[in-house]
Amino acid sequence: MTLNTLLDHPWFHTWVAALIAIVAAGIAHRIAQAVLVRVTRPMPALQSAVRTARAAAAFVLPLLALQAVWQAAPDDLHFIGRVRHLNGLALIACATWLVVSVIRGFADGLIAAHPVDVADNMNARRIHTQTRVIARTTMIIVGIIGAAMMLMTFPGARQVGASLLASAGVIGIVGGLAAKPVFSNLIAGLQIALTQPIRIDDVLIVDGEWGRVEEITGTYVVLRIWDERRLIIPLNYFIENTFQNWTRNSAQLLGSVYFHVDYGMPLAPLRAALERVVKAAPEWDGRFFNLVVTDATERTMQIRVLCTAASSGQAWDLRCRVREGLIDYMQREHPQHLPRLRIEGEKDAGTAPPATAAAA
């Protein structure tokens, strides 16, 4: 192909304009990226969004410039209609990618700015939960809108939509029934994000299982059980059912330990032993502890010990430490006052003298 032939080609001027548009868009992308990174330096969440969206923006700007070139080209140019359509599809896809990247980057930056590995992480867990749920829900909605916009660029898709409109009632009922779990979980996710019945790292009791909230997705919650199992629970479960949240307002807990002892057990030495055990325990948060008699049967009296800890895990360990410490003390100092079963007979009836047998 000679130079004159190339210059006379109908697409020559459009190709030159497209090349210039691509180069200009690339330069604009680099300048805008450097400026935005510098401007958003004091705002970690926005800077994270800018950095995450860098790859998508590198495609969006050239495609946007090319679309302007194709629209300015003559309508009688061969294949110009297909080129415009393909470029429009690519632009919609990359724009959707860009918006999703901005949302994901902003969410990651916001989460990174509020770490949960601190002593008082209540506010951080609230922000993590709201950010994750709202970001994922928004990204799903943006993806659906992007796909719908791409489909609407096809005339056939619009005709199918118009033909389905006549039977919208039946299709709406069937679609509604089929999509009920999806939409119920989506709505439940928004409710959880706004009302905060659960948060990331909350301690829950669900169906008798104790665990921490490890992840909240757009459709389910991952509960990490104490023995490293994972319990997968749909989001709408937490809207429609009751469950225990041990860290709803505070991570601090009041732990209880119960003992059954003989009526002869002296309480003052037992309280002194409890004080030594609790004050020596690293899990105790220094707020409160006590020992009281809460019940009395015909054989034993029930003793309740209360003690506080800063978190549910520490409360469990503290209860075990208190239980072991008091049992060890009673075995060493007052073994005769452990629960016993007494069998007493009549001496004048020739029966055996009073005897005792250790109860189970």
**Mean pLDDT across the stretch 261-286?**
90
Rounded-to-integer distance, Cα 294 and Cα 298, Å = 14
Please indicate, yes or no, whether residues 231 and 282 belong to a single structural domain of this protein. Answer: no
Please indicate, yes or no, whether residues 155 and 232 belong to a single structural domain of this protein. Answer: no
Residue 10 in tokens:
């109908």
Please indicate, yes or no, whether residues 121 and 207 belong to a single structural domain of this protein. Answer: no
Average pLDDT over the chain reads 79
Residues in contact with 354: Cβ distance below 8 Å, sequence separation at least 6, in sequence order: 342, 343, 344, 345
Q: Is residue 349 part of a domain?
A: no
Cβ atoms of residues 133 and 197 within 8 Å: no
Please indicate, yes or no, whether residues 238 and 287 belong to a single structural domain of this protein. Answer: no
Give the residue from 145, 162, 179 where a domain finishes: 162
Please indicate, yes or no, whether residues 259 and 153 belong to a single structural domain of this protein. Answer: no
Structural domains of the chain, count: 3
- Residue 230 predicted with pLDDT over 70: yes
Q: What is the CATH number of the domain that holds 204?
A: 2.30.30.60
Q: Kind and range of the H or E element at 49?
A: helix 44-52
Determine what percent of the chain falls in helix, strand and coil, rounding each to the nearest 5. 60, 20, 25
pTM flag (> 0.85): no
- Higher model confidence: residue 60 or residue 121? 60
Cβ atoms of residues 339 and 298 within 8 Å: no
**Mean pLDDT across the stretch 72-94?**
84
State residue 354's pLDDT score.
43
Please indicate, yes or no, whether residues 44 and 158 belong to a single structural domain of this protein. Answer: yes
Residue 279 in tokens:
């004050």
Give the residue from 245, 264, 279 where a domain finishes: 245
Confidence of residue 359 (pLDDT cuts 50, 70, 90): very low
Residues in contact with 11: Cβ distance below 8 Å, sequence separation at least 6, in sequence order: 77, 78
Rounded-to-integer distance, Cα 333 and Cα 264, Å = 13
- Residue 196 predicted with pLDDT over 70: yes
Confidence of residue 275 (pLDDT cuts 50, 70, 90): very high
State residue 345's pLDDT score.
54
**Mean pLDDT across the stretch 216-229?**
84
- Residue 211 predicted with pLDDT over 80: yes
Residues in contact with 238: Cβ distance below 8 Å, sequence separation at least 6, in sequence order: 188, 192, 197, 198, 221
Q: What is the CATH number of the domain that holds 309?
A: 3.30.70.100
**Highest mean predicted confidence (pLDDT) among 3-7, 71-75, 190-194, 205-209:** 205-209
Please indicate, yes or no, whether residues 46 and 29 belong to a single structural domain of this protein. Answer: yes
